[in-house]
Structure 1
Amino acid sequence: MRRSLIGGVLLAIALYLGAGTLLFAFQRSLLYFPQPRAIGGPDRLLMLPVTDQQIAVTVRPLASSKALIYFGGNAEDVSRSLPDFAEAFPDHALYLLHYRGFGDSTGRPTEAAILHDALKLFDKVSALHSEVAVVGRSLGSGVAIHLASQRRVARLVLVTPYNSILELAQRQFPIFPVRWMLQDKYESWRYVPAIAVPTLLIVAERDEVIPRWSSEKLFAQFRSGVARREVIVGAGHNDIGGRPEYLSLIRSGI
């Protein structure tokens, strides 16, 4: 009986350690889902050289003082947003970043690499346009927040934003020490106090991926008067972009 109990305990420990090892080894495969680029020819593509990689940016070039940079979700082909953004922002040059491994970008996505590439893109864009607004959706909201804490952006719009990916992962995998395992934490709340530009948070009422409490927690971190939030009633995480008020809200924040 005792031997059987010990055997059961050892088996449970082995299973736990095995599952934890797999979770650690494949964690980035659970976070990033690279997509190919579907829209735009060579005239709609900017290749940004970054160290030993080539980072693709879908663009709508425009000789204007205004520009908009867009950072998408973890499974998004940002080129698909080009037609709608081009119509919604006729007076803005558009720059939509494909994360490493996405679209025509080389390399593999990591938090450090994506944040680095975002800064490089902003520096290039701000040298061409004096007023640069930034929009980040889902995973990209964390990228946009970090950028806005490091550079002088004109306006900031965050769509379905989160307080921390680490926080969400801890709730999803409560039996594992996720804090010590997770490599890409995207702790947006750390950078919010440094943001002083007008910021709009667009929240999906029925977000099934990023719980509304996470967006609300992030909103509470902003200094008074810096940010406002708008909730799209009935919207979920993946269908928010198809709502009629989606682009009009983004325009109101730009």
Structure 2
Amino acid sequence: MLTSLVVVALLAYGAACAALFFFQRSLLYFPQPAHVDTPHVPVDGRPGVVASHRALAGAQAVLYFGGNGEDVTQNFAPLAQAFPQHSLYLLHYRGYGRSSGKPTEADIADDALALFDQVHRQHPQVTVIGRSLGSGVATRLASQRPAARLVLVTPYDSIEDIAAARFRVFPVRWLLLDKYASWRYAAQVQAPTTVLMAEHDEVIPRDSTEMLMTRFAAGRATLHVLPGAGHNDISLAADYVRLLGGAR
């Protein structure tokens, strides 16, 4: 009887691990349709992938990478306010907004590189911004390309660590496909970096953001904690737009 119970428990645990493995991306990515009709441009060499776009003449541009459940078109207006002199490019991840396909870390990272190279040919001063999930995309990109400035909103040290803490009974580190290990790339970032942390972030643990800060070269990153803000409403904080735009 005891042996049978152990076998049943092991089979149930194995089935749970299998389900976690096969459905993990549905737990990480929550594609949203585009609710705001913004101009958009295709990303060079990435069929079906687009970015919302505001074209302005000049050397400066902004690349924006959003959260895992974000419609980036809804951040078009605050970005335009924060960067009135910059061209804007807000990437629609695969399956999000007006982009087709399915999101994976590898594809999003490649799409981000392609978009940066496309923008950098016309605008040599590119500010790279990543929010929540997008902070990992932005950090990785800034470690590989000459960003003029990096801005990270509610960032993490590693999605892998957060997932492992959340699903303690499962071997998450073995199962996880998309790890978003920002710690691996932060030391290679050469751009001045602004980190915006929500005081009451209920999604990204404070110690994950603080650990990420230690990964950058000394003096490279500056942390700002926005009082009273949560993970999803940080953009409503009084100083958000000012700090996003680079004011001190």
Q: TM-score range by the shorter chain?
A: over 0.9
**What corresponds to 1:212 in structure 2?**
206
Specify the SS of the correspondent of 2:53.
strand
- Other-structure match for 2:42: 47
> How far did residue 65 of structure 1 move?
1.0
For 1:48 and 1:223, locate their aligned partners in 2 and report how far apart those are by CA, in whole Å: 31
- Deviations, residues 214-238 of structure 1 (Å, cap 9, x unaligned): 0000001111111110001121111
Shift of 1:242: 1.4
Whole-angstrom distance in 2 between the partners of 1:20 and 1:234: 38
Aligned 8 A contact 1:58 1:96 in 2:
yes
RMSD of aligned residue pairs (Cα, Å): 1.2
User: Could you say which residue in structure 1 is the equivalent of 2:223?
Assistant: 229
Q: Find out whether 1:97 has 2:94 as its counterpart.
A: no
Aligned counterparts of 1:172 and 1:226: Cα–Cα separation in 2: 30
Structure 2 Cα separation of the partners of residues 34 and 108 of structure 1: 9
Q: How far apart are residue 197 of structure 1 and its match? A: 1.2
The 1:112–1:190 alpha-carbon spacing in structure 2 relative to 1, beyond 3 Å, is: same
Distance 1:244 1:230 in 2: 13
Instruction: Report if aligned partners of 1:71, 1:143 keep a CA contact under 8 Å in 2.
Output: yes
139, 158, 161: which one aligns with 1:164 = 158
Unaligned 5+ segments in structure 2 are none
1:73 Cα deviation from its structure 2 partner: 0.2
Amino acid at match of 1:46: V
AA at the equivalent of 2:22: A
Alignment match, 1:9: 6
Partner SS for 1:58: strand
Q: Which structure's CA Rg is the greater one?
A: 1
Could you list the runs of 5+ residues in structure 1 that have no partner in the other structure?
none
Q: Quote the offset at 1:87 in angstroms.
A: 2.0
CA distance in 1, matches of 2:114, 2:43: 8
1:29 aligns with 2:23: no
Query: Structure 1, residues 86-107: CA drift from partner, whole Å, max 9, x if none?
Result: 1221100000000000011111
Cα distance in 2 between the residues matched to 1:116 and 1:161: 20
**Distance in 2 separating the partners of 1:119 and 1:113:** 10
3-state DSSP class of the match of 1:28?
Answer: helix
Q: Is 1:68 the counterpart of 2:62 in the alignment?
A: yes
Q: In structure 2, what is the Cα distance between the partners aligned to 1:69 and 1:137?
A: 11
Alpha-carbon distance in 2 for matches of 1:140, 1:90: 22
Cα deviation 1:66-97 (Å, max 9, x = unaligned): 10010000000001111121122110000000
> Is 1:77 aligned with 2:74?
no
Q: CA deviation at 1:40?
A: 2.1
Secondary structure in 2 matching 1:86: helix
Match of 1:118? Answer: 112
Question: What residue number does 1:138 align with?
Answer: 132
SS of the residue 1:87 aligns to: helix
Give the direction of change, closer, same or farther, for the CA distance of 1:205–1:129 in structure 2 (3 Å limit). Answer: same
Q: 1:212 to 1:253 in 2, by over 3 A?
A: farther
Give CA-to-partner distance per residue, 1:96-130, whole Å, 9 cap, x none.
00000001111110000000000000000000112
Identical aligned pairs, as a percentage? Answer: 51
Q: Give the CA deviation at 1:253.
A: 6.2
CA distance in 2: counterparts of 1:195 and 1:175, whole angstroms: 35
